[in-house]
């Protein structure tokens, strides 16, 4: 495989750069509209966000952080109280518009969702208690979605961001769907990043937690991922049908979704694979998974 051949699945650390555990940006072949940085800081560590041509959402994964951010007309310091892990309910997040720079300091892991843009919006702090929590699906397709960066929740220029928690043995990103054609009112063109974490269920003692993730081709392009995924792994979906993401028995699965695209409107509109769309109808009358929602009050490991 040449350096210019796109790779759509990257293992933890494959994309390490300049103090970051992972960096996804336009330097990757075939990638244009979205970005992601994953940082892992020790006590008293700090790392800079110096690029001004992107908007960002800073998302604590585990730990607490202080963000000093600079943009017109001055400088602010915002404390992100965070959480113990991605399986302990929503976190507070910080949206920074294009033109901003920032320094993140603290101890723990955090993600920075990015999208190149020259448009600006007001910066915004979203507390964990203000994060819309959606319980989606039913039965073994039950999952929990934190919609802090969706069009209904955040005034951003390009970014659409959310996170999904899938309990052990459940399926999410299902039925398989795509968003790679501009069909007004029906489907939008969006690149998508999946950043994964996995952990033993509450009370579990397992190691090497994992889930499974799949993509396959659509008329917009050829892609094929059928892989075991775990903490720190990243899947890139430029086009094609994606899903399911499956949590293995004994292990809960988390993913952060980062989306943006070339369409004039910031909308998340999808088309299910016609071969599997009927599955949605089977959810009617099914009980929702009573393990959800996961909250900060429940505790973990």
Q: pLDDT for 104-155, tens place per residue?
A: 999 999 999 999 999 999 999 999 999 999 999 999 999 999 999 999 999 9
The Cα–Cα gap between 146 and 165 comes to 9
The answer to whether the beta carbons of residues 87 and 165 sit under 8 Å apart is: yes
How many CB atoms are closer than 10 A to CB 28? Answer: 16
The Cα–Cα gap between 153 and 253 comes to 24
What integer pLDDT is reported at residue 298 of this predicted model?
54
The answer to whether the beta carbons of residues 295 and 86 sit under 8 Å apart is: no
Which residues lie closer than 8 Å to 44 by C-beta, 6 or more apart?
Answer: 105, 107
Q: What pLDDT digit, counting tens, does each position of 22-43 carry?
A: 999 999 999 999 999 999 999 8
| Residue 246, pLDDT above cutoff 50 | yes
Q: Please give the domain boundaries of the chain with CATH numbers for all domains.
A: 9-282 (2.60.120.10)
The Cα–Cα gap between 260 and 283 comes to 29
Helix residue spans in 68-187 (DSSP H): none
**Helices H / strands E in the chain, number of each:** 0, 20
Is the overall model pTM greater than 0.85, yes or no?
yes
Rg (CA), the chain: 18
Q: What pLDDT digit, counting tens, does each position of 40-84 carry?
A: 999 889 999 999 999 999 999 999 999 999 998 899 999 999 999
Strand partners for 237: 192
Q: For the residues 256-279, what does the mean pLDDT come to? A: 97
Termini Cα distance of the chain: 41
Please report, for residues 18, 24, 96, 168, the alpha-carbon distance to residue 8 in angstroms, rounded to integers and kept in the order given: 21, 11, 27, 25
The answer to whether the beta carbons of residues 95 and 42 sit under 8 Å apart is: no
Helix residue spans in 144-229 (DSSP H): none
Which residues lie closer than 8 Å to 272 by C-beta, 6 or more apart?
Answer: 175, 176, 177, 280
Q: What pLDDT digit, counting tens, does each position of 201-232 carry?
A: 988 888 899 999 999 999 999 999 999 999 99
């Amino acid at each position: 495989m040449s350096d210019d051949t796109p790779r759509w699945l990257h293992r933890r650390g494959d994309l390490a750069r300049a103090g970051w555990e992972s960096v996804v940006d336009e330097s990757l072949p075939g990638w244009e509209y979205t970005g992601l940085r994953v940082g892992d800081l020790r006590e008293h560590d700090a790392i800079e966000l110096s690029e001004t041509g992107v908007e960002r959402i800073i998302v604590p994964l585990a730990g607490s952080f202080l963000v000093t951010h600079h943009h017109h007309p001055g400088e602010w310091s915002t404390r992100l109280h965070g959480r113990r892990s991605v399986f302990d309910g929503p976190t507070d997040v910080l949206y920074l518009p294009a033109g901003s720079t920032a320094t993140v300091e603290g101890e723990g892991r955090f993600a920075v969702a990015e999208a190149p843009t020259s448009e600006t919006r007001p910066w915004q702090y979203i507390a964990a208690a203000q994060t819309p929590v959606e319980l989606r699906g039913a039965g073994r397709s039950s999952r929990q979605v934190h919609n802090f960066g969706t069009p209904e929740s955040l005034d951003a220029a390009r970014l659409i961001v959310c996170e999904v928690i899938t309990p052990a043995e459940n399926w999410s990103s299902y039925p398989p769907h795509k968003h790679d054609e501009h069909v007004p009112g029906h489907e939008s063109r969006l690149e998508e990043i999946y950043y994964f974490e996995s952990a033993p269920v509450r009370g579990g003692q397992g190691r090497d937690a994992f889930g499974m993730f799949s993509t396959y081709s659509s008329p917009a392009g050829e892609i094929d991922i059928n892989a075991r995924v775990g903490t720190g792994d990243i899947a890139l979906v430029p086009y094609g049908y994606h899903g399911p993401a499956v949590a293995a028995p004994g292990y809960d699965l988390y993913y952060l979704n980062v989306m943006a695209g070339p369409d004039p409107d910031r909308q998340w509109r999808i088309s299910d694979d016609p071969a599997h769309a009927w599955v949605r109808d089977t959810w009617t009358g099914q009980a929702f998974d009573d393990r959800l929602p996961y909250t900060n009050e429940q505790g973990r490991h």
